[in-house]
Structure 1
Amino acid sequence: MAQTQVPPEAAKAAHATGNGGPEWRKYISFSTDHKVIGIQYLVTTFLFFLVGGALATAVRTELATPQADFVSRELYNSLFTVHATVMIFLWIVPAGTGGFGNYLIPLMIGARDMAFPKLNAVAFWMIPPGGILLLSSFFVGAPGAGWTSYPPLSTVSGQAGEMIWILSVLILGTSSILGAINFLVTIIKMRMPGMGYNQMPLFCWAMLSASALILLSTPVLAGALILLSFDLIVGTTFFNPTGGGDPIVYQHMFWFYSHPAVYIMILPMFGMISEILPVHARKPIFGYKAIAYSSLAISFLGLIVWAHHMFTSGTPAWLRMFFMITTMIIAVPTGIKVFSWLATLWGGKLRLNSALLFGMGFVSMFVIGGLSGIMVASVPFDIHVHDTYFVVAHLHYVLFGGSMFGIYSGLYHWFPKMTGRMLNETWGKIHFVLTLVGFNMCFLPMHWLGLQGMPRRVAEYDPEFATINLVCTIGSYILAVSTIPFIINAVWSWIYGTKATGNPWQALTLEWQTASPPPVENFYDEPVLWSGPYDYGTDLLQPGEDKSVEELLAEVNANPG
């Protein structure tokens, strides 16, 4: 991909002085280095993931029995409301876009940093106060209207908690917008000479599409929340029918952001999987342009499907038909990606390490969620399962299964680049097995619960569902335990792990053509393109071959033609 000379003395000096190294002080400072900010995002959001997971475990503990005997009904409402908000706004969105996006984008396009480094730092430092503010709501009466916060429920329950929820989401949304501006300008204006759009790594295409969605949809959510706050504290009636308002307008504004948010969360994972599979299958990506342009198609179609969440909200029949059709159409670009990934794996020399296992787990979990998504896109079926546990199962397979497996795959793949150390593969595979078993044991039976009519968002339920709920709860405990091997592995390996070379996977994208971890300005020399990012099947590198960058460069120099 690029010819970058890395003097051994310079690399050693970089590690000795801590340029890009794991010196803990710089990770709690106002750094403008995109690599430091990326790791700050990943570590901070993972801590919030643990908090969100603890809240989810409390929810599942309550649901282990039909009676509300672990927490009160009111606290149960707050637990699942804050759980969903934390997982979406404080883990998946900032980890995928802010974490991996910040660390990888400048390296992948040969830039020295992001376009606006100070703005980048500001965007990150809005995350901790936004998260702490949200969690502090438990001291004054946490919000209990669900993460959707529909009026009139949100205007009559826990006013202080709802206002804290609104303020927190506004802060986190602003952070997301600032990051999106930075990504768009960086990708469009700062690519190295010779790197056209069709030479970019697919992760860049995914971040381009996700950032466009953030800029177009997030301000609409902000507007809805500001109007809702006026109804709460000023007494306006924007969403109150008694004063001429309409609560359905809130639903339209909320879902105009919150369905594209699904793709804001999952597009970075699509991009990461498109980077990881070719490397560990030792094959070129199948259908580069199809995958790249399908990301743009998802970004566009994601803006015209929002009302499929409102099929039971009095939506006219003709409008239901429009949104049903557009929702089914959006499965096409997603299917293009899935079949391209499968074709990439087919016939490859698979290295079944933790990164590839989680990558393949991502594909399988997302396919299950996608299939149930096609089902709920159909109006008659959606009316039957609306607000049941079938929707909970679908949501978690798409978002939690997709995002969790995608993030873990990315961490195992890029951990050597970020830290200069290799993760332990034995612990990684234990982590994968526990995650796969726990996740499916927890969420797969929920499809049956929903089809049988068990409603979501309730602390008490019919005793006939007790056995399946107990199975789901046991699965949630296994899923919770699965994080322990990863935490031990990550902390131990970062400090004592085997030292990584600059390119331990023999990958061809630019980020692997510099030291691990990279120096402050990423590259010692100006990077030069000499191959495509996925040219594993070229004359230089046949499928199944593993060659170091130095060997490839020697062949290029020996045969300039």
Structure 2
Amino acid sequence: MTKVEFPRNTPPDKNKGQNPVVGHAAHPTAWRWQDYFTFNVDHKVIGIQYLVTAFVFYIIGGLMAMAIRVELSTPEADFIDPNLYNAFMTNHGTIMIFLWIVPSAIGGFGNFLVPLMVGARDMAFPKLNAIAFWLNPPAGLLLLASFIFGGSQSGWTAYPPLSLVTAPIAQSMWVLAIVLVGTSSILGSLNFVITILMMKVPSMKWDQLPLFCWAILATSVLALVSTPVLAAGLVLLLFDLNFGTSFFKPDAGGNVVLYQHLFWFYSHPAVYLMILPIFGIMSEVIPVHARKPIFGYKAIAYSSLAICVVGLFVWVHHMFTSGTPGWMRMFFTISTLLVAVPTGVKIFGWVATLWGGKIRFTSAMLFAIGLLSMFVMGGLSGVTMGTAPFDVHVHDTYYVVAHFHYVLFGGSVFGIYAGIYHWFPKMTGRMLNETWGRIHFALTFIGTNLTFLPMHELGLQGMPRRVAMYDPQFINLNQICTFGSIILGLSVIPFAYNVIQSWLKGPLAGDNPWQGLTLEWTTASPPAIENWEELPVVTHGPYDYGHDHVPVGTPEVSA
């Protein structure tokens, strides 16, 4: 891509005259490390703030998960108190969804990459962007502080009437925390939509927009539609808990099923909020490391929008056992099967891109290929549960736990790792160590399958989820799962060491170590404060690898 002088598409020196910790005056080319701990309006700083904060909560949520698995290695409740088990189980799910996957996939990668990919100097509303991030740490602290009052013990779904009678103070703190995270999501999504629609460089046609940006656009629209519904349900639940109302109290005329509708209208699309940005990451990582144009660009782009639309009409498949009438079961069975079609379009597009490519098995590519296998496994079990007759039998069993962990851990977390290995050089100017990356992948892949694959059989045999004590007939499979969870926990160690060591002393990356074609690779590594001295002009597609008119050399760093 060539560079020419281009008018700024955001006001220059937006922080000029402010405190030098926040402003540009004292830092004309780069930020100091201290600036990452301040209220900073640079989209790149905010993206890294999201990623690091989310990873801290990932460690906390992972430790809760390991405590749960150690408890489940025996049928008796002999490791932690059953009430504490319930609190760990509730907050593990809450933290992993609301404070790890969503903030890192959307807030972290989205903030860092979207302005760079569309040729903007920052997000449309930089201060609003910073506010959206700073709503997350208080939300996480609220969740952790709730353990002073016993911790929320009603599961991450917080179904009444259970959520109305167990640890009411902790439950109220849980509700407030999720409302804060939801507000952050709404503010961030509004910013993404306006940035992508209004601030891409004029030379970029819509069929040249990177697929990650299409994914973030679809995700943001979905969040703007669905998140307020969850907020409404949680506010009503908070009123029932503290102000004597009876929206969801059945003994006072309330309707518990209404809460389920409000909750799942957001929380099933929340699966797509977590996975759509990961799909975008996959669409960026695979063509670069396969040195081949993405197969079916328009199909993959439009399938993100299709998932956004159809994903709003599948929530009742979580409620097939909640007294839903037959016609409703039939409608949502069909819609659930339909949403698999645009997802399948993406899978086939990625596989076709890999076919015949000059694949470099970098750590990023290993995690991307690992995601393909994991997500296909989770998708197949999802199709089975989307059919009402089968779902009735496995509902609330470990089959469900196996399904959503293959989708969310095997899908989202593998994708986050792929993104970190791919864009770490751009974020820091340093290369990660590939040997440590391969060790990290091997431990993660083995640990994931050992932990979650046996859960399918546990569910088919009838073991219920969310219990600390179980029938001794399930002990052998549970011990395999626990062993796998230990490997999965240990897998974080080489990753953390690699990131810290490489950030401090890793080999310099250069501006474009992977020889990528999207706009973020046309700026320095790490990018300057306003991204470019001169904004780029788009002269070819983002995935035109192997085309004669695109000058792309040998990657500076090979696997």
- Aligning the two structures, in what range does the TM-score lie when normalised by the shorter sequence? over 0.9
Tell me which of 114, 117, 123 is aligned to 2:126: 117
1:391 paired residue number: 400
Q: CA deviation at 1:72?
A: 1.2
Which amino acid is the alignment partner of residue 464 of structure 2?
P
1:335 paired residue number: 344
Equivalence map 1:60-99=2 (5 Å): 60-99=69-108
Indicate conservation of the 8 Å contact 1:37/1:124, yes or no. Answer: yes
Which amino acid is the alignment partner of residue 406 of structure 2?
Y
Which amino acid is the alignment partner of residue 303 of structure 2?
S
Q: Distance in 2 between matches of 1:161 and 1:530?
A: 55
Equivalence map 1:139-538=2 (5 Å): 139-538=148-547
Indicate conservation of the 8 Å contact 2:118/2:209, yes or no. Answer: yes
Q: CA deviation at 1:512?
A: 0.3
Q: Distance in 1 between matches of 2:401 and 2:550?
A: 45
Is residue 2:3 matched to residue 1:3?
yes
Q: Distance in 2 between matches of 1:397 and 1:523?
A: 40
Indicate conservation of the 8 Å contact 2:230/2:263, yes or no. Answer: yes
Q: CA deviation at 1:24?
A: 2.0
Indicate conservation of the 8 Å contact 1:202/1:274, yes or no. Answer: yes
3-state secondary structure, aligned to 1:284: coil
Q: CA deviation at 1:20?
A: 6.8
Indicate conservation of the 8 Å contact 2:540/2:550, yes or no. Answer: no
Q: Distance in 2 between matches of 1:4 and 1:453?
A: 65
Indicate conservation of the 8 Å contact 1:110/1:510, yes or no. Answer: yes
Q: CA deviation at 1:541?
A: 5.1
Indicate conservation of the 8 Å contact 2:363/2:441, yes or no. Answer: yes
Q: Distance in 2 between matches of 1:142 and 1:519?
A: 43
Q: Distance in 1 between matches of 2:168 and 2:52?
A: 32
Segment drifting more, 484-493 vs 521-530: 521-530
Q: Distance in 2 between matches of 1:536 and 1:174?
A: 40
Q: CA deviation at 1:22?
A: 6.8
Indicate conservation of the 8 Å contact 2:439/2:494, yes or no. Answer: yes
Q: Distance in 2 between matches of 1:432 and 1:29?
A: 33
Q: Identify unmatched segments of 5+ residues in structure 2.
A: 6-25
Indicate how the Cα distance of structure 1 residues 254 and 347 shifts in structure 2: closer, same or farther if over 3 A, else same. Answer: same
Indicate conservation of the 8 Å contact 1:20/1:517, yes or no. Answer: no
Q: Distance in 1 between matches of 2:373 and 2:429?
A: 30
Which amino acid is the alignment partner of residue 385 of structure 1?
V
Q: Distance in 2 between matches of 1:539 and 1:174?
A: 47
Indicate conservation of the 8 Å contact 1:21/1:419, yes or no. Answer: no
Which amino acid is the alignment partner of residue 434 of structure 1?
L
Q: Distance in 1 between matches of 2:182 and 2:210?
A: 27
Which amino acid is the alignment partner of residue 490 of structure 2?
V
Per-residue Cα deviation, 1:491-519 (whole angstroms, up to 9, x for no partner) = 00000000011000000000001110010
- State the TM-score, normalizing by the size of structure 1: 0.94
Q: Distance in 2 between matches of 1:102 and 1:389?
A: 36
- State the TM-score, normalizing by the size of structure 2: 0.94
Indicate how the Cα distance of structure 1 residues 19 and 340 shifts in structure 2: closer, same or farther if over 3 A, else same. Answer: farther
Q: Distance in 1 between matches of 2:201 and 2:138?
A: 36
Q: Distance in 1 between matches of 2:358 and 2:550?
A: 13
3-state secondary structure, aligned to 1:399: helix
Per-residue Cα deviation, 1:61-93 (whole angstroms, up to 9, x for no partner) = 100111000011111100010000000000000
Which amino acid is the alignment partner of residue 325 of structure 1?
I
Segment drifting more, 232-241 vs 159-168: 232-241
Q: Distance in 1 between matches of 2:474 and 2:398?
A: 11
Which amino acid is the alignment partner of residue 475 of structure 2?
A
Indicate how the Cα distance of structure 1 residues 251 and 505 shifts in structure 2: closer, same or farther if over 3 A, else same. Answer: same
Q: CA deviation at 1:42?
A: 0.3
Q: CA deviation at 1:190?
A: 0.2
Indicate conservation of the 8 Å contact 1:41/1:99, yes or no. Answer: yes
Indicate conservation of the 8 Å contact 1:2/1:510, yes or no. Answer: no
Q: Distance in 2 between matches of 1:136 and 1:4?
A: 52
Q: Distance in 1 between matches of 2:284 and 2:402?
A: 28
Segment drifting more, 285-294 vs 232-241: 232-241
Indicate how the Cα distance of structure 1 residues 548 and 74 shifts in structure 2: closer, same or farther if over 3 A, else same. Answer: closer
Q: Distance in 2 between matches of 1:519 and 1:274?
A: 26
Indicate conservation of the 8 Å contact 2:31/2:529, yes or no. Answer: no
Which amino acid is the alignment partner of residue 181 of structure 1?
L
1:557 paired residue number: none
1:12 paired residue number: none
3-state secondary structure, aligned to 1:70: coil
Which amino acid is the alignment partner of residue 3 of structure 1?
K
Indicate conservation of the 8 Å contact 1:365/1:402, yes or no. Answer: yes
Q: Distance in 1 between matches of 2:92 and 2:555?
A: 45
Q: CA deviation at 1:453?
A: 0.3
Indicate conservation of the 8 Å contact 1:57/1:477, yes or no. Answer: yes
Indicate conservation of the 8 Å contact 2:30/2:529, yes or no. Answer: no
Identity of aligned residues (%): 62
Indicate conservation of the 8 Å contact 1:2/1:531, yes or no. Answer: no
2:8 paired residue number: none
Indicate conservation of the 8 Å contact 1:20/1:35, yes or no. Answer: no
Which amino acid is the alignment partner of residue 218 of structure 1?
T
Indicate conservation of the 8 Å contact 2:152/2:170, yes or no. Answer: yes
Indicate conservation of the 8 Å contact 1:82/1:143, yes or no. Answer: yes
Q: CA deviation at 1:537?
A: 3.0
3-state secondary structure, aligned to 2:539: coil
Per-residue Cα deviation, 1:333-375 (whole angstroms, up to 9, x for no partner) = 0000000000000000000010000011111111110000000
Is residue 2:116 matched to residue 1:107?
yes
Per-residue Cα deviation, 1:302-348 (whole angstroms, up to 9, x for no partner) = 10000000000000000000000000000000000000000000000
3-state secondary structure, aligned to 1:330: helix
Indicate conservation of the 8 Å contact 1:419/1:516, yes or no. Answer: yes
Per-residue Cα deviation, 1:281-309 (whole angstroms, up to 9, x for no partner) = 00000000000000000000110000000
Indicate conservation of the 8 Å contact 1:126/1:175, yes or no. Answer: yes
2:57 paired residue number: 48
Q: Distance in 1 between matches of 2:241 and 2:340?
A: 38
2:9 paired residue number: none
Q: CA deviation at 1:39?
A: 0.3
Indicate how the Cα distance of structure 1 residues 4 and 62 shifts in structure 2: closer, same or farther if over 3 A, else same. Answer: farther
Indicate how the Cα distance of structure 1 residues 323 and 61 shifts in structure 2: closer, same or farther if over 3 A, else same. Answer: same
| CA RMSD, Structure 1 to Structure 2 (Å) | 1.4
Which amino acid is the alignment partner of residue 155 of structure 1?
L
Per-residue Cα deviation, 1:461-508 (whole angstroms, up to 9, x for no partner) = 110110110000010000000000000000000000000110000000
Aligned residues: 536
Q: Identify unmatched segments of 5+ residues in structure 1.
A: 6-16, 550-561
